[in-house]
Amino acid sequence: MTDTTTTVAERGATGSPTATPRPGLTLVALGVAGLVVSLQQTLVLPLLPRLMQTFDTSVSSVAWVFTATLLAGAVATPLLSRFGDMYGKKKMITLTMALLIVGSVVCALSDSLSMMIAGRALQGAAAAVIPLAIGMIRDTFPREKVTSAIGVVSATLGVGGAFGMLVTGVVADNTDSHHPVFWISAAMAGIGLVFVVMFTTEAGKRTGGRPDLLGAATLAAWLVMLLLAISQGNAWGWTDTRIIGLFVGIAVLLPLWVFLQLRSRDPLVRMGLLVGPRSLQANVASLLLGFAMFAGFTLVSNFIQTPEDKVGYGLSGSVLDVGLYMLPSTVTMLLFSALAGRFEARLGAAWTLAIGSSIGGLSYVWLALNHGSAADVMIFSAIQGVGFGIAYAALGTLAVQHVPMEQSGIASGINSLVRTVGGSVASAATASILTAKVIQNTSVPTVDAYVLCFVIAGITAVLGAVTAASHGLRYRTSG
């Protein structure tokens, strides 16, 4: 197999494009783009209780403001990653940042839930930036800098997520409207776009081929059915004909999608990169880690804003408090994602991922047992940042280290796809649990519902650690 850590810089003599002359500026540009993209994913979480009142809707319905972004990202990520390998990664990053700007403007102008969800779906397409950036790093960076650079970009997913809630808190604390938050998102996306245009270059081998639009449409169809069934199961009843019909549709479309991918000359998702012997465990770990992380973002935001004087639990916090209580996560994630490259050099990506996921799981154990004060939540936040800072940095490397250079974009895209699916399922599943277990004669979830969700998120993170450790044992020479 091709040495997958060999970069374009080392192949310049053969006529391939040479490495970028300014890797530092390129990394800054890609980091800023990744930060802005991850920021918009969680930007709405502290606003969900307010949006329920603004649009007069239920928990399960308003959850789609968040879920729609993840769902759009799940579909767009492999498609745009494939386009990146075909037409150039810089072109696709530029396109996704432009879509982020458009989606932010739509949300800023929205006066209905449906319009908000449409704008969030447009924003979600920008999720492809992270795998495209990882592919660009492998194309252009010197070999010795690839791992640390991938770690920095991968870590922006968690750092931006925590920072997004802080930005929303500051804005929401000074206004009663959700509109300013999205105008800020549009402005930040514009800055990210300028950085990408000015400081990145096209490089790498083009693979050719044509886009698998039928595969993308089929993927979107069964994912929508899955998330709708999970999120509405309690509201409609699990034996309702609509829920049964959705699961029947999934049973038909999922095998059809796999069949189409296996038969297509240019599939949206290469099955070997999804379930191949070197890819399966990395992708399963990504799925579990995505579930654990996004479940935490959703749950903690709602829990902090629950009024203790009315329901007997919660922190009676404001939208700003959500961002402040999660600030330790931003700090520790920045610090430990920067250190993750050293851990990978000593232990390998798989074992580094296992350690990070285990620490992330422990943070949920703490929160399940201790959630009565702001200090408890801040301790959780700090521990979670350590774990996910290490884990996400390692995950970016693990996803691509075994594939040829020209497939790095789509390999990273597929890994991002399953992580996004995990986050989407987490959003729908936790909303379902919180809707099912409510205080008598109210629509407010019980504290036991939150504890159950914290436990599930912790177990999921630990399962991710076990999966990563299994990969490390199986492929000891490559981590």
Q: What's the pLDDT at 259?
A: 93
Number of domains in the chain: 2
Is residue 283 domain-shared with residue 207, that is, in the same domain?
yes
In a domain, 3, yes or no: no
Per-position DSSP letters for 35-94, written without gaps between them: HHHHHHHHTTGGGHHHHHHHTT--HHHHTHHHHHHHHHHHHHHHHHHHHHHHH-HHHHHH
- Beta strand segments in 102-224, E: none
In a domain, 239, yes or no: yes
In a domain, 350, yes or no: yes
Q: What's the pLDDT at 147?
A: 78
Q: What's the pLDDT at 21?
A: 57
Q: Which structure tokens are listed for 47? A: 């606003």
Q: Any idea what DSSP says for residue 326? A: T
In a domain, 122, yes or no: yes
- Per run of 10 residues, the mean pLDDT along the chain (length 479 residues) is 37 43 84 88 80 82 82 82 86 94 95 93 90 86 82 75 78 84 93 94 73 85 83 78 94 93 84 79 90 87 89 89 87 84 87 96 97 96 93 84 71 78 83 87 91 96 96 72
Is residue 134 domain-shared with residue 277, that is, in the same domain?
yes
Q: Tell me the CA distances in angstroms from 246 to 73, 121, 241, 264, 458, one per residue in order.
A: 21, 21, 8, 26, 29
3-class DSSP state of 438: strand
Is residue 144 domain-shared with residue 286, that is, in the same domain?
yes
Q: What is the CATH number of the domain that holds 440?
A: 1.20.1250.20
Whether 94 and 125 have beta carbons less than 8 Å apart is answered as no
Is residue 181 domain-shared with residue 240, that is, in the same domain?
no
Is residue 220 domain-shared with residue 154, that is, in the same domain?
no
Is residue 114 domain-shared with residue 12, that is, in the same domain?
yes
Is residue 60 domain-shared with residue 120, that is, in the same domain?
yes
Last residue of a domain, one of 265, 294, 327: 265
Q: How many CB atoms lie within 10 A of CB 309?
A: 7
Last residue of a domain, one of 222, 241, 265: 265
Q: Tell me the CA distances in angstroms from 261 to 273, 403, 407, one per residue in order.
A: 12, 19, 16
In a domain, 449, yes or no: yes
CB-based burial label for 439 (10 Å; 0-12, 13-18, 19+): middle
Domain of residue 18, residue span: 8-211+266-474
d(CA 307, CA 287): 33
Is residue 249 domain-shared with residue 290, that is, in the same domain?
no
Half-sphere exposure of 116 (CA within 13 A, CB side): 23
Is residue 154 domain-shared with residue 221, that is, in the same domain?
no
In a domain, 86, yes or no: yes
Per-position DSSP letters for 440-456, written without gaps between them: TTSSPBPHHHHHHHHHH
Last residue of a domain, one of 250, 265, 280: 265
Q: Which residues of 171-185 are buried (b: 16+ CB within 10 A; e: fewer)?
A: bbeeeeebeebbebb
Is residue 225 domain-shared with residue 282, that is, in the same domain?
no
d(CA 126, CA 196): 13
Sign of the torsion angle spanned by Cα atoms 415, 417, 420, 422: negative
Q: What's the pLDDT at 6?
A: 38
Whether 422 and 288 have beta carbons less than 8 Å apart is answered as yes
Q: Which structure tokens are listed for 130? A: 């992270």
361-410: pLDDT as tens digits: 999 999 999 999 999 999 999 999 999 989 988 888 888 777 776 666 67
In a domain, 133, yes or no: yes
Whether 368 and 454 have beta carbons less than 8 Å apart is answered as yes
What type of residue sits at position 200? T
Is residue 320 domain-shared with residue 217, that is, in the same domain?
no
In a domain, 2, yes or no: no
Whether 85 and 404 have beta carbons less than 8 Å apart is answered as no
Is residue 385 domain-shared with residue 397, that is, in the same domain?
yes
The pTM (predicted TM-score) of the whole model is 0.77
